Amino acid sequence: MAGLSETTVDELVERIGDGCLLALPKPDSGVSMAAVRALIRRGARDLRLWCLPAAGLQADLLIGAGCVASIECSGVSLGEFGAAPRFRRAAENGTVRIVDSTCQAMYAAVQAGEKGMPFVGLRGIVGSDILAHREDWTTMQNPFADDEDPVVVLPAVRPDIALIHARLRDSLGNLWVGNDREATVLAHAAHGAVATFEERYEGNLLDDERMTAGTVAPIYIDAAAYAPRGAWPLALPGAYPADRDCLAGYAATAATEDGFAAWLDGHLSGVDRAA
C-alpha cells in the first residue's frame, strides 16, 4: 500500500529515474537534502528539475554535480549568501536548459495539476516579456467576458516525482509537513511522491486537529525514509535553522569547478562520517 513502505535514503532515490521531471519545494519548505546527496552519490543524470517556486542549494548541488538537464523555477539563489554559482555558470555556458517562469505561474500550474484540470488561466502576466520565451503558454480572450479581456493560459503541471522532507511520520504513513503548502501541493499533483522524514510520531496524525491541515495522507506517498536532520544544511522550520557557516562556505568556494568539486567531496564525506 502506498505510504506504508519505509526504506533507506539510498533505496528511496532509486525511485527517481534519470530523465524524470523531479519536483522540489523551495529551500525553507522541507527540502530533502539527504536525498539530494544520495542522488549525487548515485550519479543521477538528465533530471528535469521543477522547483516550487524557487530553488537554492538543492538545485545548485545537483547542477554542479552534472545531474540536471533542465530547470524550471522563478529563480535560483543562495539568498543572503548571494548567487547560486553552479546555476549561474550553467546558465552562462548553456549546459543546462533554463525554463523561465514566475512564482504565480508555477503555483497556478501545479494547483491545476493537483485538481486534475488540464490548464489554468492567469491574468498577472498578460503583456509580460516572459510570454515570448514560453511556447507552451498562450493568450486567449476570456470567453465569458463581453469586453476585451485577455487571459494567459498555462498547461497544468504534474511532475513525475515529488521529493519532500517532512517533520513527522506516523505508523500509518501520514506525513506532517507543517504550514508551508509547497510539499502538500507537490505530493498531490505529482504522479508519485517520495519523502524523507525527521522524526517518528506515536499515534495517528489525523486524530489531532492541530496537525491535520499540515498532514499529507499516505495515499500520496510511494515510499519514505527516516533521515534525521535530513534538510541540513538548509533549515527545517520548527526543528532547526539553516547552517549559516556551511552555506557561507559553499558560496565562497563553489564559484570555480575545482572549488565546487573540493567542497562537494568534503561535504559528502563529512556527512558519511557523521552518519
Handedness of CA 33, 35, 36, 41 (dihedral sign): positive
Domains of the chain, earliest start first: 6-102+157-274 (3.40.1080.10), 103-155 (no CATH)
Q: Per-residue pLDDT for 273 more than 80? A: no
96, 69 Cβ separation under 8 angstroms: yes
Express each pLDDT in 201-210 by its tens digit.
999 999 999 9
- For residue 221, give the C-alpha cell: 506517498
User: Where does the pLDDT of residue 24 fall: very low under 50, low under 70, confident under 90, or very high at 90 and above?
Assistant: very high
Q: Per-residue pLDDT for 149 more than 90? A: yes
pLDDT value of residue 1: 45
Please classify residue 202 by burial: count the beta carbons closer than 10 Å to its beta carbon, then call 0-12 exposed, 13-18 middle and 19+ buried: exposed
User: Where does the pLDDT of residue 270 fall: very low under 50, low under 70, confident under 90, or very high at 90 and above?
Assistant: confident
Q: Taking phi first (over 0 means left), then psi (-120 to 50 degrees means alpha), and beta for anything else, what does residue 233 get? A: alpha
The more confidently predicted of residues 274 and 244 is 244
Number of Cβ within a 10 Å radius of residue 77: 18
- ω into 118 cis (within 30 of 0): no
Express each pLDDT in 89-103 by its tens digit.
999 999 999 999 999
pLDDT value of residue 3: 56
Handedness of CA 208, 212, 218, 223 (dihedral sign): negative
Q: Per-residue pLDDT for 274 more than 60? A: no
Number of Cβ within a 10 Å radius of residue 154: 23
- For residue 275, give the C-alpha cell: 552518519
Q: Tell me the mean pLDDT in the region 143-157.
A: 97
